[in-house]
Structure 1
Amino acid sequence: ISYVFIVENTGNVTLTNIQVQDVLPGLMLTGGPIAQLLPGEIDSTTFTATYIITQEDLDTGSVTNSASVSSEAPRGDLNDPSDDIVDTSDDPNDSSNEDPNGDGDPDDPTVTLVNSIYDLEVSKEVDELEPVVGDEVTFTIEVANIGNVTATDIVISEQIPSGYVYVNHIATNGNISYSDITGEWTITQLDPDQVEILQVTVEVLGFGDYLNIAYVQSSVGGNDVNIGNDEDSAEVDPICLTIYNEFSPDGDGVNETFVIDCLERFPDNKLEVYNRWGNMVYSTRGYLNDWSGTTNGRAVVKDSDNLPAGTYYYVLDLGDGSDPRVGWLYINRKN
């Protein structure tokens, strides 16, 4: 900011040794003193000043500045400032005409608006677009201050949708907190050009909402000039209805049941299992991935006994009007 100081002798006596003072921190004042001003005379060239806008000014949105002028009174003592004539500057473009010192002259400060830009930007991505149900994926959320105004008390909404289960999270800075309960990510302060990152790891479920949205819920610092970049989203498309057609129900806790991904999406499903002779050995409605190779079908073996190791054939009707899925499965028993 460049300042010009217009000094006018509004009295009817000659003024001498005229000095301008401006105590705005960081301001560079040059020129002076003015040796003499006759009554009615104006000086607008002797004193000038420059000021470099600070981050505090950008955060405030303006720079407020007042200067003062003093001169030696007629027949005054050069070594005695108490007899000097003094006045506070007035901004001629401000019609408020404030007079805090009560001398009858307006003393409006000069207020210069600065180009303050308040703009937060949210971006989000996921590391795997087509995960298998049960896999873990990580969402990375970045919040950047792309304006020139300091932002504080930022709250980002990062609610985990119903298609995931929270596992853990990490963040880039110790002044950041995230709660998977409230879905709020809090950033204490974000300086211009600063970026903070949150990574949330979740497990993919076989059903639910997979669209994960992050957005600026609230912040302090100004009115965002571009709300269009305050929100971003990422979504996965799980690989579903994968039929794991080999399992080993031998009691070791590993691969104990016949599993079909995403079957939770089809609660009206019906599963039938047949042996190699075409006899039904197992049938159920609303299958929940819990069959461990026992029979409830025709009496090919004793009811509720374990089926022997071997190849079987399944018919899966999803109950949604689509054609049944047909295939083979293998039961492997070690004992």
Structure 2
Amino acid sequence: MKKLLYIFILFSFTVNAQVTISRQVIGSTGSYQVGTTMSLSSTVGEPAVQTLFSVNGILTQGFQQPSMNVDSIVTYEVINESCNGASNGSIFINSVLGCAPKADGTYSLLIKNVTDSSDQDNPAQLPAGTYNVKIIGLNGCYFFQLITVGLDSEEDCKIKFYSGITPNGDGNNDLWIVDNIEQFPENEIKIFNRWGSIVWEASGYNNDDVVWNGKNNSGNDLPDGTYFYVGTIDGETYKGWVEITR
């Protein structure tokens, strides 16, 4: 009997020599739990062991010990710097495994440029580069992540005016955006009607709190039609027209 069994085992081994079984969980027993400072996934058969640690910890248990990939811990979005010198790249953190966001749904970020160790104060005003980002969530949990902001164009930033605005309150094209003007804070913009009268003007145009929205300087809506602009930016004068359409 023993001899027959021995022969069967050898035969089976020969036939299946090319079969590889990857790491897997056998059986359905297990659970996954997330707390404010700890995440634990488990099956059966082994004590929990620590596989990753910052302030928060991630534990695994059973026959499923993973090779943890740091990129799978943090999910984030990056907007590249649009052109050389724009400093308008941005980083937004969606989630961190085992570290919940603050009550307002966001994470606090401490951003340091890897190249020169300089601190970056605004995650929405970043030049292209690689950053070491400390992500801080609820109850002080935190995690470090290297994030790279790319550069969409290696050309120097150039001023670009658009010839249309639709200030109807739908959130699309309600403001007259002048590309890259925020890189040249010494500027002045004047809007004229067809009779040559100034209807709106401002200094320090920045597409944010100083931006034309189709109203005159008194805050009243201007009628639809063609208007003309004169911009003095960094010592250069730009002229053209812009159409209001609601």
Does the pair score TM above 0.5?
Answer: no
Give the TM-score band, short-chain normalised: 0.3 to 0.5
TM-score (norm 2): 0.42
TM-score (norm 1): 0.32
Greater share of residues in helix: 2
